[in-house]
Amino acid sequence: MIGSGISGLTAAWLLKKAGRTVAVVDKASVASGESGHTTAHITELIDSGYHKLISHFGENGARMARESSRAAIDQIAANIDELGIDCYFRRVPAYIYCESSKQRQELERELDAMHRVGIKSAKLVREVPLPFRTFAGLLVPDQAQFHPVLYYRGLAEAIDGHGCSIIENTFARDVSDGNPCSVDTDRGEIRGKRVLVLTDSPMSTRFLMHTKIASYRTYVLAATCTESIAPGLFWDTADPYHYTRTQEMPDATSLLVIGGEDHKTGMKRDTNDSFEKLERWSRERFSITDVRYHWSGQVVEPVDGLPFIGRSPLSRNVYLATGYSGNGMTFGTLAGMILSDEVLEQKNSWSALYDASRVKVFGSVTTYVNENKDYPLCLFRDRISPPEVTSLEDIPAGEGRIAKVNEERLAVFRDARGELHAVSPACTHLGCHVRFNEAEESWDCPCHGSRFGINGEVLHGPAVSALRTVDVSAEQRPKAKPKKTAA
């Protein structure tokens, strides 16, 4: 397993239980990637809505999506019970709510779709247990939540040992299909009969897969507030939408966790603005006393509403999973279930629905075109557009700009000490030019979501190679003043 998030850990645990020897490889530590940035809504609700799934996959396909999502929730509960993981797991209701009468019709349409796919307990309610005015809500009982990091630790402890291992701080750079397969890492080669690439966005240069997914940034805050918020998972119907829940903490406090303000990765420089908007939205609706934490994460949206899970296209023994659409706890667990069955050569009735090789975009042609137009536009436009600054002196401390230095276009960041860090702006995945992310001080690719640190190191795939560094120290030295000449 490449990646120690919820997909990799779930697959590894199920395979170890079945008697297989497994290794989980991660470039950092367990669940330090996107699984560690989750708000952990464990739900059978689908981000695109069941009404869209029915139009894309038919009623039977949408029903299977619901059944498999339910099975994933039950698998999480079973793992917790079997391993005795203390992670504050609890069953809670979920609510999709609207704040105006105009959006009630949207809830009614989704309720009808839910009933058609078998969620008979779903119902419209007038009151939603939140401390601000809502117009109506769609209630779905028996969803769940937990403390994700504690859950990951429990799985990791169960996996490690008896011939199985978790290999941290090891960066996988390439995968070669074969018998056995090989994984090239920065610490040497690893071989195995099967390789599962479970890295949020697949570490692959195969273009077709990346036309079927799109990467988005999402923003989260965790705060204390004076109100007592009822247990539950909450989503509004805004665009972009907001999502809310509470989380019990080991110190007996309860935090209100709120997320939203999503935008496509690399398409927004002033990402501090997203945090500010999220906090403003939150304070307008809750009596927040202290924002304890804030962070952002990356979600991968599939073009047709469901993840891609299965054998990697054109491969025999390499598998992948991606496109969880912000529903990583459910779909990540489901990916571990499906892929472990495939490795064990056991029949899984949901494999065909999530097939990673599917290319038909169903009723989502408009979405497909909209998500893919950025690649050709950015690839060429950013190369011919003027640089953001004409002089390195114009880059403020703590910010990054695209500059032209000695006729070369560079991505340049100035740190708090005034020192410059310059890298090539060409993303090492497919060549688009990166853009600066102010809140996280990173260089983000607008085409397929790769992210890099200020010194070019890979933070998020699909890129696996760092941006080329460029020495501009000579350019930042004060220029010598001309000597005075005698009159």
Task: Rank 110-114, 376-380, 385-389, 472-476 by mean pLDDT and report only the highest.
Answer: 110-114
The domain boundary, picked from 354, 387, 412, lies at 354
pLDDT of 355 higher than 50: yes
Asked if 83 and 129 sit in the same domain, the reply is yes
Asked if 201 and 327 sit in the same domain, the reply is yes
pLDDT of 205 higher than 60: no
In a domain, 362, yes or no: no
Pairing of strands 90-98, 233-236: parallel
Tens digit of each residue's pLDDT (9 = 90 or more) over 266-288: 999 999 999 999 999 999 999 99
pLDDT of 368 higher than 70: no
Average pLDDT across the chain, whole number: 92
Report the candidate in 150, 162, 154 with the shortest Cα–Cα distance to residue 16. Answer: 162
Banded model confidence at residue 381, pLDDT cuts 50, 70, 90: confident
Asked if 337 and 384 sit in the same domain, the reply is no
In a domain, 233, yes or no: yes
| Structural tokens at position 465 | 């190679």
| Strand partners of residue 137 | 97, 125
pLDDT of 204 higher than 70: no
Asked if 395 and 326 sit in the same domain, the reply is no
pLDDT of 485 higher than 80: no
Percent of the chain with pLDDT over 70: 92
Q: Which domain holds residue 60?
A: 6-354
Banded model confidence at residue 487, pLDDT cuts 50, 70, 90: very low
pLDDT at residue 380, rounded to an integer: 67
In a domain, 370, yes or no: no
Banded model confidence at residue 444, pLDDT cuts 50, 70, 90: very high
pLDDT at residue 250, rounded to an integer: 79
Return the number of other C-beta atoms located less than 10 Å from residue 238's C-beta. Answer: 14
**What whole-number distance in Å separates Cα of residue 249 and Cα of residue 258?**
16
**What whole-number distance in Å separates Cα of residue 426 and Cα of residue 374?**
15
Mean pLDDT score, 132-152: 97
pLDDT of 482 higher than 60: no
In a domain, 485, yes or no: no
Asked if 308 and 399 sit in the same domain, the reply is no
In a domain, 481, yes or no: no
Return the number of other C-beta atoms located less than 10 Å from residue 207's C-beta. Answer: 11
The domain boundary, picked from 321, 354, 387, lies at 354
**What whole-number distance in Å separates Cα of residue 310 and Cα of residue 314?**
12
Q: Which 3 state secondary structure label does DSSP give 71?
A: helix
Asked if 209 and 110 sit in the same domain, the reply is yes
Helix (H) or strand (E) holding 117: helix 104-117
In a domain, 486, yes or no: no
**Phi/psi at 469 (5° precision):** -85, 150
Asked if 216 and 266 sit in the same domain, the reply is yes
Asked if 158 and 235 sit in the same domain, the reply is yes
**CATH number where 151 lies:** 3.50.50.60
Banded model confidence at residue 373, pLDDT cuts 50, 70, 90: low
pLDDT of 453 higher than 60: yes
In eight-state DSSP terms, residue 294 is E
In eight-state DSSP terms, residue 94 is E
Asked if 301 and 410 sit in the same domain, the reply is no
In a domain, 482, yes or no: no
pLDDT at residue 84, rounded to an integer: 98
Mean pLDDT score, 171-196: 96
Tens digit of each residue's pLDDT (9 = 90 or more) over 144-153: 999 999 999 9
Asked if 95 and 210 sit in the same domain, the reply is yes
pLDDT at residue 383, rounded to an integer: 75
| Structural tokens at position 50 | 């069941």
pLDDT at residue 407, rounded to an integer: 87
pLDDT of 161 higher than 50: yes
Quick one: 233 exposed, middle or buried, by C-beta within 10 A (0-12, 13-18, 19+)?
Answer: buried
Centroid of chain to Cα 134: 29
In eight-state DSSP terms, residue 207 is H
Mean pLDDT score, 354-383: 68
First-residue to last-residue Cα distance in the chain: 76
Asked if 288 and 405 sit in the same domain, the reply is no
Banded model confidence at residue 386, pLDDT cuts 50, 70, 90: confident
Number of domain units in the chain: 2
**Phi/psi at 168 (5° precision):** -95, 170
Asked if 338 and 398 sit in the same domain, the reply is no
**CATH number where 461 lies:** 2.102.10.10
Quick one: 69 exposed, middle or buried, by C-beta within 10 A (0-12, 13-18, 19+)?
Answer: buried
pLDDT of 132 higher than 80: yes
Tens digit of each residue's pLDDT (9 = 90 or more) over 42-88: 999 999 999 999 999 999 999 999 999 999 999 999 999 999 999 99
pLDDT at residue 371, rounded to an integer: 54
In a domain, 361, yes or no: no
Give me the residue label for tokens 């496509």: 264
